[in-house]
Structures are given as structure tokens and as C-alpha cells.
Structure 1
Amino acid sequence: MAIETCVVFGGRGFIGKSLVDRLLRVGNWIVRIADSIPTLQLEPSESLLSHALSSGRASYFHVDVRLKSNIIPAIDGASVVFYMDDRDSYVHNFYICYTIVVQGAKNIIAACQECKVKRLLYNSSADVVLDSWQDIHGGDESLPYSSKFVNMVTDLKAQAEALVLVANDTDGLITCALRPSYVFGPGDNYISSLLVNVAKSGWGKFIIGLGDNITDLTYVENVAHAHICAEKALSSRGSHVCGKAFFITNLKPMTFKDFVSLVFQRLGYQRSIIKIPARFTQYVTLIIKWTISRMSNWRAENVPVLYIIELALCHRRFNCSAAQKYIGYSPVVSLEEGVALTAKSTQLARESSFSSYSDTDEESKVHKLLGGGKVAEILLWRNEQRTFTCFLLLVFIHYWFFLSGRSFLSSLAQLLLMIAAALWGYSILPPTIYGIAVPRISWSFFEISEVDMRTCFYNVAYTWNRMSQLASLLARGEDWYIFLKAAVPLYFLKLIISDCMTFAIGIALAMAFTSFLIYEQYEDEVDSTANVIYSISKGAFTLLMRGLPLPLAVFHSDSEIPSSRLKIQQ
């Protein structure tokens, strides 16, 4: 078998690394790795590449595809070029992306023609035929390019793909392009990373819609294998391969919900369990995208969770029969095995979320939050008898002050009278009653230490000073955040006191003796849900603060606008 020289542009990217590894394992290639990284730094797992570099079977070229003069030394004498522009190198800047993706493709095509390279293969994306929120049911290569691309990078990749295909059979160069669908695998900083971030943030608890949308995903090694198959087919100059594009998948469509559950299970996260209506989620997502589009320095692709939401709502299934028939492609790694390999090799995996339920002597988070003392012991039902006694006592107090129909002062007076009478009666009891000793109450029981009194007064003084400082800030009218922080809780407190204070205290009493216990049992679930609510509230509050005008006090003041307020307005 003849030895040929090939060049892999983007050879240090996610898909490029896998292709280089597979080319070296095939054994009949001298591989040149071309990338924008100044120096080649190998990972411990890349022993095959290390040996190939030592023996001369592989070499590295630092190349900027935006400059044609940089490209020619890397491809001079090569017969095949694989162009794997990698998503990890993109930035959210149109000009930079255009020069890397589109202008880079033009430069590589021109350099290949000048250096008499025989074959050029471009790694495109299945997204080039997708409109935003469009369903694809078994789409094949007859689908036209999208009229409304899902993001800027996909738009540019479609232009680069078209340039490569049009260049076919020009100056002896034959070309083709592959369109892998949703690539994942070891080193994936996009789909797998996004899913784990979603799980950590708490969004992973939710299933959007019915969860029945079909999605085609592709393991990264299968993409590398497809490129080698396509190169072999190109060498035969078949009319069904040259100048054509082919969809590449794992040939096993599955519901996106099942894929996410498989990933979560392998990485040690709990599967999604809470369903959200699909239509509601789509409307919310569209509103968020519209809001982001109104911000000059933001784009929708800056919010990765929107990408996951779109994946979870749309059918994305492609027909790979052309790739099977004309380039001889079939997956070499199954989807389940690919997920297992990804989870095994990634640092994103963690211990199971159910580990908090195992028997352990370590204090729980809520136990530490409650101070780890008697209050924690009572509210977490460590001693059922003591907890139940405290609960009955608090229920009695709630009834006495709020449900008896008397005013607060009259209830307090009657309670003090009852306590005074009980203490007097206790004091005149004989030392023994029917042989049972009656314990006496020590005078020290009614004393309060000087340290406790000093601490009490310090706390009162601190609270008073804080309230005085807050009132001063409100009087100056310089910060909307301070105003909302004070006004909103006070308004809700007014509603509670005026309308349902008795009911609210009763509910609070019941929740105090149940919610902490429940939280201790389901810490992870409660924390993740709270993170979701917090992130939504924080985003809504930020948008609200952006829209508020500057306070009038700022315009009547000679002092500078506070830097924090300037930051919000910008």
C-alpha cells in the first residue's frame, strides 16, 4: 500500500485530533498537523502521536489560514488536505470569524490548486440546512441551504462549504464535504460540556415538552472514519462523490430526552423528571432571543442554554444512505459506547447525586446552616419527643396570641398573669409530695449574664445603625437597587400583616418543622431548582435595572455618578 502525505488543518481541535489519531492508526499516511496554536503541546494520552513525531511520520506546522503564504509550506508536496475548522477557535466577532472560516477556505483552495494537491475534504455541519426551530424528518442531501441560519458561524460554514464544492475539478483538485450532525466525544467542549453545565445549574431536572423529538448525533471517531472513507472514494473520482456533500450520523436516531438521560446516567447526574410545556418554553426562548438581539454587544449564541432548548424542541433526523452507498461509511463506534467513552475520559463526571442519601456521619448542609445546636436538633427531628413538645408549645402560643380573638396586649397580659400565678403556686409547694421530691428552681435560672446583655444591646445598636444608613441612602435617591431592595419586601410585609398575618404565621410554623427535614433528604434536588429560579430572577432583575432611568438626584448633584450605576446603565 502506497504511503501518501496528508495535511489536517485544525488538527489540534476536537474533531481534528480524532482524525489525526485515526490516520496514524491506519498506517499508510504521513500526517502533517496544521493549526493556529504556536507550539504543539501533547497530552499524556497522545502516545501514538508522540511516537509518530519522533519517527517522522507526523510533523507540526503553525499556520494562520487567513494568510495564504502561511498555508503553502504546510501543504507543499501533500496529496490530500483535510480542512477541519474547529468551533472552539471561534469568537463572537463577525469579521474575525469571516476571515477564519470563509477567507480561510478561499486561501486553502487557492493554495491546494497552486501546490497541485489532488483531494480536498471539508468538515462542514448538518446545521447548514437548518432554519431556526425547523423540524427535519429524514432529510437528505437534496435539502437546500438554510434561508435563516441558526447562528453566525453556521452561516459562514455554509459559505465555506459552497466554495469548496464549487472548486471541484478545477486545476486538478477534486473536493467533497461532510456534514456531521451534533458531534460529541472525549474532549468535547460543546454538547457534552453544555449538558453537564445544564445539569449543574439545575435545568437538567426539566423535560421540555413530551421529550419525543428525534435527534441524530454522531460520535467523533465516526466523523474521523467518515473522512477517511470519503478520501478513498474521492481517489476513485466517482461522479457521485466529487463535488458532493454527505450527511454523517451514528445511524441510530434517538429521542433527545433519551440521549440526555444516557449522558446524565453515565456522568452520575439524576435523569430529567419535571416536564415543561413545549409551547411555553418556545415562547420564552423567543422572547429571550429578541431581548438579546436588542443588546448591541450580545448575540443569542452567547447563551448556550438556548442551543440546548432548541435541540430539545425540534426533530433533527438525517438520511445517511448516500454516505453509506457512495463513500462506504458505517459507524465504527455505537452511540451507547460513545457516551460511555466520553464519560470515562472526561473530567466532568462526578459522584452520583444520590450519594447524599447514603449513611454517613458527616453533618448535612442544613444542619450546619441551622447552627448545629439545639435548634437544629429540634427542627430536624433528632429527638422526636422534644421536637413534638416544642411544636405543641408553639401551636399553643400561636393560638393564644392570634386565634383566641383577643388583642395582642391582652393576650400577653393574661399569659404573664398565668406564668406569675404558676410560679407563685410552684414556690409554695412542699419539698415532697407523697414521697416525691419537688425540685426547686435556682435563682440563677432567671438571671441574664452581662455578656448576653452586652451582645443583645450590640445587636440592637447594629440593627439601628443599618436602618439609619438605609434610610439615608433612600433619602439621597441615588440607587434604584437600594430602593427596590427596601420597597419590595416592605410592600409584601404590608400585605401579609394587613390581610393574612395569622395564616402566614401558621404556615411558617408548619413549614419550620417540615421544610428543613425535607431539604435534608433532598438537598441536591432543592438546590438545583433554587439555582434555576435564581438565574431566571437575576436575569429578569438585570433587564429591569437596565431599563430604569437615572434618579433625579443624580442630575441635581455635582458629584460623579457612582461607578456601579454607570455599569448597570451601560
Structure 2
Amino acid sequence: MSLRGEVCVVTGAGGFLGKTLMRLLLEEERVAEIRLLDKEVKPQLLQTLEDCRGDTKLTVFEGDIRDGEFLRRSCRGASLVFHIASIIDVTNSVEDSEMYGVNVTGTQLLLEACLQENVDTLIYTSTIEVMGPNSKGDPIINGTEETVYECTLKFAYSKSKKEAEERTLQAHNEELPNGRRMATCALRPMYIYGEGCRFLLGHMGDGIRNKNVLYRMSRPDALVNPVYVGNVAVGHLQAARSLKDPQKRNVVGGKFYFVSDDTPHISYSDFNHAVMAPLGFSIQQKVIVPLPLFYLFCVLMEIVCMILQPFVRVVPPLSRQLLTMLNTTFSFSYQGAKRDLGYAPRYTWQEARKRTTEWLASQLPQEREKIGAK
């Protein structure tokens, strides 16, 4: 099913995944228009897309996703929305009200705008973290959409994404003013890496400060399966094609799908080393502090922060939940997306790693300069 002639809205267009998805839309689908919706869209972004724009119209909508009228203007006359925008935070550094306002209220207002403006298709970018892991660190190996896992979510981020995902899926089959019905689905990518990943830059900066030695925060046997940003964009494209296909619309609509690829199952820390080793980085052999002591440190930090909370808001550098996430085997299969969406990873692990390492290499001089390292 082609998306030719569609008018697409991409929320979070200026972000890591948004930029990759827009380029894919321009290169593979002759969409009539892409509306770049974000709080700020830098002029350079439009310039980077000029080489593949063709006849597609690019329109910028800058504003707050919590502004319902702004969203209605953005969606007026559109036929397809990729809702990527959200606040991502696993350190609890963002106020819960801010997180909920953007991730949940913003999603609800966008759904309402779609319903009011006859937008019949919406793909929501969720996250693997709506599954967990739970506080006990119970593992999942090659989980599927049918996997049952008991988890009380601790991160405000995870809770907000879970609620936004549920609201999106509940909106499937809602009737539009023009008599058609809306179709929605949600994609749950693994940890996304690739060109533009700010988390990788952060880890590289820490490694530079530590004399080119990456910190080990994950046990080597705590295996996860990161996914390359290009493959996540392909998954979004396949989801859109499926929802636009009358024969697949009700098969896919109202459901969520995991998006992974053939990146090897590896711990978070060892993954950082895999993409940075060619740049001269080594990695610590063991977790910097024995995990039981690490957990105790986190508990003490949380108590101190709680005591200080009436006077000043202090965010601990590490929480028990984040430490659990970094040290829990948690991997998921993309077979459900392959079966229903026709998704298949386009970029191999070798190509994805090469692209990511080359991008990190291009950022290395300025990161060293910023830190003041030789």
C-alpha cells in the first residue's frame, strides 16, 4: 500500500527519530505534504531534507503540543499522523506534571484534534519501558505481544507513555465527522541508537572524562536488544501502509507491536563499547561498585532527597529502578510486526554499527573540546 498523496503530520519532527522518519518518507513515498510539528524546528533541518524533497511540500508548525487549537490547525486537512513527540526521562529529573502534560495530555489533545479534523490514521511511538522491567528484575527473553509480565511501573516516564499508548489504542475505530472511522496502532521500539542519539553522546562524554574508559553500569549477562533508528523508521512506515490498507486496517488497528532488529543481544554497557571501541575507548571489566552496595547507595540517596524535598528538589544521579533496568535481561522479538505489518529490518547490525560509529567519530573532536580533554 502506497502513501502517495497523503498529507502527513510528524510530531517531534526535529528529534532523533522524527528526522530519520521524514527522510524515509521523502525518499520512498511521494506524499503530498509533510507537516513538521515541534516546539522548535531549526532551519537547518529543512536544508538537510532539500536533496530528497522532490515535489513534497514541507510545512513547519511550531508550538506547544498541549495547545489544542494549535494541534487542530496542524491537523486540518491532514490524513496521517506519526506521533513521536514526548519527554524522555529515566532519571526523574523532569517534574511529573510536566511529563504528564506533554506525554499524556498532549497525546489526548492530539487524538481529539484528529477526530475533529477527520484525520483517519495515527501511529503512536511508544517504548519498551511500558513493559518494565519490574522492581524484582524478572527477565524476559524474546518476548512477544502475547507475553504476560507483572509490573508496577516506577518511572513517571514509563507510566505516562503507558497511559498515552492506552488512550491511543482506545481511539481506534472512533467515528469521524465525515462518517469514516479512525485507525490507530502503537509501536514499542527497544532502546533506539544511531546517528543523533544523545544518550550515546552522554556515555562518550563520560568515557572521555574517565580517560577513554567507558563506565560499566550493566552486568555482561544482562542482555537487551537495542534497535537501530533507521529500522524503527521503517517500522513506522510499514505501520502506516498497513493502516491505510483496507484489508489490513482492522487486523493491525488498535494493537501494539514491538520493533527490534538483528542487533545482537548485549548488555547496555557492552553495547556502548561495541560502537565506541573503534574510536579508542575501552571499558571497565566489572560494575564499578558491587550491585548490592549500588542498590544501598541508591536507597540512601533517595532518603536524602526525600528529606530535602520540602526545601529543594534534588535529583539523585542514579535510582534503584534505573539500576534494575540496566541489569535486567529484557529482549523482545519483531516477529509480530513482521507477520502483521510486513516489517523487516532494512539495516544489518554491521551497517547500523558502522553508521553509528562514524557519527560518533564526527562528534568526538567537539566533545573532547567541550570537556577540555586531549
Tell me the TM-score normalised to structure 1 length.
0.56
Structure 1 138/284 Cα, relative in aligned 2: closer, same or farther at 3 Å?
farther
Where does residue 349 of structure 1 map in the other structure?
364
Where does residue 303 of structure 1 map in the other structure?
317
What letter corresponds to residue 109 of structure 1 in structure 2? L
Matched, 1:160 2:164: yes
- Alpha-carbon distance between aligned partners in 1 of 2:345 and 2:165, rounded to the nearest angstrom: 23
For residue 336 of structure 1, report the CA deviation from its aligned partner.
Answer: 3.6
For residue 293 of structure 1, report the CA deviation from its aligned partner.
Answer: 4.4
For residue 324 of structure 1, report the CA deviation from its aligned partner.
Answer: 1.2
What letter corresponds to residue 259 of structure 2 in structure 1? I
Where does residue 34 of structure 1 map in the other structure?
37
**RMSD of aligned residue pairs (Cα, Å):** 3.1
Matched, 1:185 2:199: no
Structure 1 320/283 Cα, relative in aligned 2: closer, same or farther at 3 Å?
farther
Give the alignment of 1:346-385 within 5 angstroms: 346=360, 347-349=362-364
Where does residue 227 of structure 2 map in the other structure?
218
Q: Is the 8 Å Cα contact of residues 204 and 214 (structure 2) preserved in structure 1?
A: no
Where does residue 85 of structure 1 map in the other structure?
85
Q: Is the 8 Å Cα contact of residues 35 and 64 (structure 1) preserved in structure 2?
A: yes
Q: Quick check: 287-296 or 128-137, which moved more?
A: 287-296
2:251 match: secondary structure = coil
Tell me the TM-score normalised to structure 2 length.
0.82
For residue 115 of structure 1, report the CA deviation from its aligned partner.
Answer: 1.1
- Alpha-carbon distance between aligned partners in 2 of 1:17 and 1:116, rounded to the nearest angstrom: 26
For residue 12 of structure 1, report the CA deviation from its aligned partner.
Answer: 0.7
For residue 28 of structure 1, report the CA deviation from its aligned partner.
Answer: 1.6
Structure 1 210/15 Cα, relative in aligned 2: closer, same or farther at 3 Å?
closer
Q: Larger % of helix: which?
A: 1
Matched, 1:73 2:73: yes
Give the alignment of 1:473-552 within 5 angstroms: none
Structure 1 214/36 Cα, relative in aligned 2: closer, same or farther at 3 Å?
same
- Alpha-carbon distance between aligned partners in 2 of 1:312 and 1:139, rounded to the nearest angstrom: 17
Where does residue 178 of structure 2 map in the other structure?
none
Matched, 1:169 2:169: no
For residue 343 of structure 1, report the CA deviation from its aligned partner.
Answer: 2.6
1:138 match: secondary structure = strand
Matched, 1:269 2:269: no
For residue 253 of structure 1, report the CA deviation from its aligned partner.
Answer: 3.9
For residue 100 of structure 1, report the CA deviation from its aligned partner.
Answer: 1.2
Structure 1 331/53 Cα, relative in aligned 2: closer, same or farther at 3 Å?
closer
2:196 match: secondary structure = coil
Q: Is the 8 Å Cα contact of residues 206 and 273 (structure 1) preserved in structure 2?
A: no
Matched, 1:231 2:240: yes
- Alpha-carbon distance between aligned partners in 2 of 1:58 and 1:209, rounded to the nearest angstrom: 42
2:254 match: secondary structure = coil
Structure 1 299/170 Cα, relative in aligned 2: closer, same or farther at 3 Å?
farther
Q: Quick check: 12-21 or 196-205, which moved more?
A: 196-205
Identity %: 23
- Alpha-carbon distance between aligned partners in 2 of 1:209 and 1:248, rounded to the nearest angstrom: 23
Give the alignment of 1:52-451 within 5 angstroms: 57-87=57-87, 92-130=94-132, 131-132=134-135, 133-143=137-147, 147-171=151-175, 172-190=181-199, 192-202=200-210, 204=213, 207=216, 211-237=220-246, 238=248, 239-256=250-267, 257-274=269-286, 277-296=290-309, 297-298=312-313, 303=317, 309-346=323-360, 347-349=362-364
- Alpha-carbon distance between aligned partners in 1 of 2:58 and 2:150, rounded to the nearest angstrom: 38
For residue 41 of structure 1, report the CA deviation from its aligned partner.
Answer: 2.1
Structure 1 299/310 Cα, relative in aligned 2: closer, same or farther at 3 Å?
farther
Structure 1 273/151 Cα, relative in aligned 2: closer, same or farther at 3 Å?
same
- Alpha-carbon distance between aligned partners in 1 of 2:281 and 2:152, rounded to the nearest angstrom: 35
For residue 231 of structure 1, report the CA deviation from its aligned partner.
Answer: 0.8
Deviation track 1:95-126 (CA, whole Å, cap 9, x = no partner) reads: 22222111111111111111111110000100
For residue 146 of structure 1, report the CA deviation from its aligned partner.
Answer: 6.5
Structure 2 portions without partners, runs of 5+: 176-180
- Alpha-carbon distance between aligned partners in 2 of 1:328 and 1:283, rounded to the nearest angstrom: 46
- Alpha-carbon distance between aligned partners in 2 of 1:266 and 1:288, rounded to the nearest angstrom: 36
What letter corresponds to residue 9 of structure 2 in structure 1? V
Q: Is the 8 Å Cα contact of residues 79 and 120 (structure 2) preserved in structure 1?
A: yes
Q: Quick check: 105-114 or 304-313, which moved more?
A: 304-313
Higher RCO (Cα < 8 Å, 6 or more apart):
2
For residue 294 of structure 1, report the CA deviation from its aligned partner.
Answer: 4.2
Q: Is the 8 Å Cα contact of residues 126 and 180 (structure 1) preserved in structure 2?
A: yes
Q: Which has the larger radius of gyration?
A: 1
- Alpha-carbon distance between aligned partners in 2 of 1:135 and 1:287, rounded to the nearest angstrom: 26
1:215 match: secondary structure = coil
Structure 1 324/316 Cα, relative in aligned 2: closer, same or farther at 3 Å?
same
- Alpha-carbon distance between aligned partners in 2 of 1:104 and 1:195, rounded to the nearest angstrom: 30
- Alpha-carbon distance between aligned partners in 2 of 1:53 and 1:92, rounded to the nearest angstrom: 36
Structure 1 264/350 Cα, relative in aligned 2: closer, same or farther at 3 Å?
farther
For residue 323 of structure 1, report the CA deviation from its aligned partner.
Answer: 0.9
2:283 match: secondary structure = coil
Q: Is the 8 Å Cα contact of residues 11 and 33 (structure 1) preserved in structure 2?
A: yes
Structure 1 179/312 Cα, relative in aligned 2: closer, same or farther at 3 Å?
same
For residue 152 of structure 1, report the CA deviation from its aligned partner.
Answer: 1.0
- Alpha-carbon distance between aligned partners in 1 of 2:298 and 2:50, rounded to the nearest angstrom: 46
1:142 match: secondary structure = coil
Structure 1 portions without partners, runs of 5+: 354-522, 525-570
- Alpha-carbon distance between aligned partners in 1 of 2:53 and 2:234, rounded to the nearest angstrom: 22
What letter corresponds to residue 141 of structure 2 in structure 1? H
For residue 69 of structure 1, report the CA deviation from its aligned partner.
Answer: 0.6
Q: 1:12 aligns with which of 11, 14, 28?
A: 14
Q: Is the 8 Å Cα contact of residues 33 and 58 (structure 1) preserved in structure 2?
A: yes
